[in-house]
Each structure stands twice: as C-alpha cells, then as structure tokens.
Structure 1
C-alpha cells in the first residue's frame, strides 16, 4: 500500500537510494506514490564526510526523518543521521509488516480487487487500528468482533478474519493455575469430576482462548490457559477456577486456588 499524499515533518519514512551526488542523496520513498526526497550531504552522517559514497550505496534501503516538505516545489528534505538504530529497526519492521498486510489484502479479496474496494477496506482498518497489519492481527485474535467498529460489510469482515487467521502469527502468553478440589461425600469422585468439567468451560471459553485442565496429584489439578494477552488469559483462568469452585461448593466440597505465570512468544 502506498499513500497518495505527503509525509509530515518529523515522520520517519522508508526509502530506496536512487542517485548519489556530491551534494546529497536522492531517495525514492517506498510508502508514497511518486514521492522523492533529498538527503543533503550534511544530513547523511554525523561528522565530516570525505566521500558520501562511503556511507550510502545505490539501491540501499534507508530510514529517514522528514525535515521539511514544500508541496509547491515538490521538495522533501530528509535526514539519515537523525534516525537512531532503535527507530530504524522499528520502522523497517513496521514497513515489512505493512507489505505483508498488503499481500493479505490480495489473498482476502483476490488479485483483481478494485482500487475502490481496496481503499474502502484499507481505510476501515487504518481508521480503527492505525495500520493494515494491526487490523489483521486484531482480526486474527478477536475475530469479527475486532472489526465491529468499522463500516465494512459482513462479507468483507468474514474475508479479512479468515485470511488473518490463516496468515497472521499472533504472540500468545500462557498462564497456569492450580486448584485443589475436595469433597467429603461418598460420591466425592463424581463431585470432583463435575468441578473439572465446569473448569474446562461448559462452552463459556472465548474462541481466542485455549484452556486445558490436567491432573497433578490428588487433590491438585492444573489449569493452563493460552491467550493473546495477559488480561484475556488471566480473566479466563480466574473464570475457570470460579466455575470449579462453584461446582464443588454446590456438592458440599471445597476448592483452593493459586497460580503462576509464564510468558511465551510463538
């Protein structure tokens, strides 16, 4: 996706080094249609520059800070030296993510999707999440609910969600808790079994959550939750423990719960 407008002063932009002259570097902006900027030699690197070609090469991808924009003269002044390593890394990753999302748009709606439809869908995602990639990521995690705030049609939302869930790699976290279940009744085994079934969800577990309950050693059982964020995971874990506690209490038993956390990126 390329923007048709102009960047603003202070923006970070990704560009491709097109021409190198003694006075500076011409950079084609990758994120904008038909936009080109100039990095004056004094903005290429800190300190005295003996040979500008020691610092940049033709075809190199660079991240620049926009210094000034003069639309009337079609001029964009850029700086390479004002971008630190952290900013450069983050911007390149964001740019790569948007390129992925652009391909996912084609997967969702076909290579022949019209410019009008592309613009409509893109604006819906940008308006809600600020980027195409973030829109796809939220659709992968939360499904149709993530796009409720947009004006997209039901068919468009379904296509986005299906494509997102096939292509987006979502970071997940795991949280683990332990519940001890006791029943004084002769049918105590059945009481515990009912509490474990309740802990597993009874259809109340959100789609984006994976929950499992496993035996540790009498009377303790492990509840493990995998979810896209700690809040979602912790809410699901607490809800699971509450269901087990309520179920065993109805039968005259008791439940004690404690938990631990562990972050995992997949």
Structure 2
C-alpha cells in the first residue's frame, strides 16, 4: 500500500501500539505506512476499563475497526472493542499472508534478475485488483496455473507460478450431504456397497469420502481447491451413486448438508 492510501469507516486494520495513556492508545498502522490510529479508552474493551494497561500495552499488535476517518489528518479513530475474536484471527492471518507474499515476490524478482521495486510497481496493483490480495494471486497461480499463464504476460509470469507452487499451499473447501439408500433385494446391501464405491474424483486435487452414518444414511464429503470444482465433483458423484443403485434394484435420495 502507498502512504496515500487511507482506510475507510468500518474497515478492519492492524496496528502496533506505540503509546498508551490514561485516556487511550496510539497505534502505528502496519498496512498504511505513515498513518496512525487512536483508540479511546472506551473502545479498548467491553465493560468498564479502570486500568487501560490491563487490556492494551506498548509493542502489542492489535486489530481494530475504523470508526472515523478525519479528513486531512493522518490519524484515524478506531475501536478494539468492536472486533470479534474470529475477525481478529482472520485479519492477522491475512496480514501475515500478505507479508509472506511480498517476500515471495522478492524471490521472483531475484530469480529473474529484476529490480524488486520496479516489478512490484508494475504488477502488484493489477494482481490485487483481480485477486483481492497478492497472496490470493499466488494461490490462483497454483490452483489454475494454465489460466494464470494465459492471462498475464511478462518474463515474471512463469517464475511467479513456480515460486507459488514451491511455497504456497492452496486453500481447500469441503462440501457434502447425506444419501438415504435402500434396497428390498435379498442382496441389497451388496448393491448399496457397489454403488457407493462408484464415485472417483475427476481431478487429482479433489478428495471424495463416503462413510456410513447409520443405515440407510451415508455421508459424502468432497474436498477441492474451490467451490466450482467441488460442486461439479459432488454432482457427478451423487448422480453416479443413485444411477448405480437404481441399476442394482435399489432406491435412493440425496440431501445437501
């Protein structure tokens, strides 16, 4: 981010506490160089705060919510109290990922013998516009390498993908649901087993798991790098199980969980 960037009301920011006073604390904003935030004592924690240093201290890294951006000022008002534990973890994780992504981009520049600052200036904003974060761009280069290589041009592209594959673990999503499978045939159980063994992942990076949840219920889970792929794999698996079971003389239904 450039020093000209300014967070907006409602944004979540991450900062380092540089000063604690009786009435509040000042933060250096790690994502916005040169900008600071002030957290009033009433926004440090829920409930009454008698001793502010019981809740916040110098050197501490905190996540805060922007409550007011002062026009023409480099200091914004923020609240630590309004940040949930989940939001705090997610923000810190995302910030750490961006720090890591910057290091990986440095490695890309080094490997292709390019100036890091120039390369960063040329591609970073465009990548963030498309993938929201620089780390997200590395993830996409791993998940869809061919599409990424077709979309972007320049001597950095192939090395960007290579560095991503070597250093970034792509995110995965898990979806699934429940089968209800029955058969009136004497060997109906075997027919159900056969149908459940039918689904095979169409992609190497997809995992399909089917387990009994107490007859006649069977749970299926699909783990894939993105929802589109997971949905496609789940649909084909469900269709195959129900088709095979019908062929075996049984009946079945499926419900998303």
1:121 to 120, 123, 133: 123
Structure 1: any 5+ residue segments left out of the alignment? 181-198, 212-224, 241-253, 261-266
1:146 maps to what in 2?
148
2:225 to 213, 228, 231: 228
1:72 maps to what in 2?
72
1:188-207 equivalence runs, <5 A:
none
1:156-186 superposed Cα distances (whole Å, 9 cap, x missing partner):
2212111110111124579997449xxxxxx
TM-score scaled to structure 2, two decimals? 0.68
Superposed displacement of residue 2, structure 1: 6.0
1:178-197 equivalence runs, <5 A:
178-179=197-198
Contact 1:66 1:79 in 2 (8 A): yes
1:130 to 129, 132, 141: 132
Q: What secondary structure sits across from 1:67 in the alignment?
A: strand
2:91 counterpart of 1:94: no
1:1-266 equivalence runs, <5 A:
4-110=4-110, 113-146=115-148, 148-149=150-151, 152-172=152-172, 178-179=197-198, 209=205, 227-229=224-226, 231-232=228-229, 235=232
Residue 239 to residue 66, structure 1, CA distance change in 2 (3 Å): closer
Q: What secondary structure sits across from 1:137 in the alignment?
A: helix
Number of aligned residue pairs: 210
Superposed displacement of residue 96, structure 1: 1.1
State the distance in 2 between where 1:55 and 1:42 align: 12
Contact 1:45 1:81 in 2 (8 A): yes
TM-score scaled to structure 1, two decimals? 0.66
State the distance in 2 between where 1:71 and 1:154 align: 39
State the distance in 2 between where 1:226 and 1:82 align: 34
Structure 2: any 5+ residue segments left out of the alignment? 177-194, 208-221, 238-246
CA RMSD, 1 decimal:
3.6
